[in-house]
Structure 1
Amino acid sequence: MTPDRAPALPLSHPIRIEAIRTRGTEVVVRAEPAQLPAIAAQLGLVSIELLEARHVVSRNGERVKLEGRIAARLHQACVVTLEPFPVQLDIPVKLDFTSEEEAAAFARRNERDDTEIDIEVLLNEDDPPEPIIDGVIDLGGVTLEFLALALDPYPRKPGASFDSSAGDAAVESPFAALAKLKRGD
């Protein structure tokens, strides 16, 4: 692997923008059973049983619009009990893509002076477009990215709770131990 190349993704589904129709092209991205363990390992999951995305991509010149949904069935480890539990996700996807040059120009327009303090929050502002690299969009990479963003970083099994009161009663305060030493107990 050369230093300027990113490691290969466990799910890749490249599509050339020339293959995308103006009215829209439906693309199904489905992880094969042999790919699922590598995807689970990359995302820190106990297992993943299903990963399927249905995207509609449409093109207007050099700009591409992607809309779709990702369905996933997986198991995460509970942060309280460490036991695996099932999770089902239905994730909406919406992205715009443009040429690398146009995406870079958009990023430069939106750069701010570091010395300027700006606390304005624009809630309805669209996300900047993603770059189309070498005329290709990897829908597998998009699918993995949206799945990773949708995962709960602190998954908790339904009904699991952290009850610290049982353990606290058995532990004596260090100050209580010092008080005993001072009294000579």
Structure 2
Amino acid sequence: MSQPIRIEAIRQRGTEAVVKASAEQLAPIAAMLGLASLEALEARYTLSRNGERVKLEGRITTSLHQTCVVTLDPFPVKLDVPVKLDFAPEDEAGAAARRGERDDAEIDIEVLLNEDDPPEPIVDGVIDLGAVTLEFLALALDPYPRKPGVSFEAPAAEAGAESPFAALAKLKRGD
């Protein structure tokens, strides 16, 4: 689901863009994401440019069916996912990602909680809005979906049931 936009086409005050999956694209996207079905997928973005940098803000709305991990029944899900990203030319984005890298032999990890993520790279002057849409949709999906009202209860242990390790010990002894 590719929908490229050239950064030259983005105005400083903002450019509106809509990404909508066609009927032919819905089934392959559902298969790629492991969904029971995908009925609708639409994203609305506002892109604004400041020199070579681009700011993207918008929302992804979708209607789909996921498979319950407890009952294995498909159930309907509606998602409304906010999206906010910054883009920079490939060399500038790479430099921002590498900041703080050191050539020391020892490994030193520093986690900065209040720092923004580095900008996404703009490759050859193009941003693929379709790829952004699919990435954020995949991140928003529940990896262990449960149908509303369903809970998992472990089976009760049988009275006098033998532990699996005790059974293995008997086999080892030759009982």
Q: TM-score with structure 2 length normalisation?
A: 0.88
Equivalent in 7, 11, 14 of residue 21 of structure 1: 11
Q: Which residue of 1 aligns with 2:113?
A: 123
In the other structure, the counterpart of 1:172 is 161
1:136 alignment partner, one of 113, 119, 126: 126
Partner of 1:106: 96
Q: 1:178 deviation in Å? A: 8.2
Q: Distance in 2 between matches of 1:86 and 1:127?
A: 33
1:43 equivalent in alignment to 2:33: yes
RMSD of Structure 2 on Structure 1 (CA):
2.3
Q: What residue in structure 1 maps to residue 50 of structure 2?
A: 60
What number of residue pairs does the alignment pair up? Answer: 169
Letter in 2 for 1:164: A
* 1:172 partner amino acid: A
Deviates more, 1:41-50 or 1:107-116: 107-116
Q: Which runs of 5+ in 1 are unaligned?
A: 1-10, 180-185
Same amino acid, percent of matched pairs: 70
CA distance in 2, matches of 1:54, 1:134: 23
Matched, 1:77 2:64: no
What amino acid is the match of 1:169?
E
Of residues 146, 162, 165, the one that matches 1:156 is: 146
Alignment of 1:80-95 (within 5 A): 80-95=70-85
- TM-fit CA distance, 1:109: 1.2
Aligned pair partner of 2:24 in 34, 57, 60:
34
Q: In structure 2, what residue type is equivalent to 1:143?
A: T
Runs of at least 5 residues in structure 2 that lack an aligned partner in the other structure = 171-175
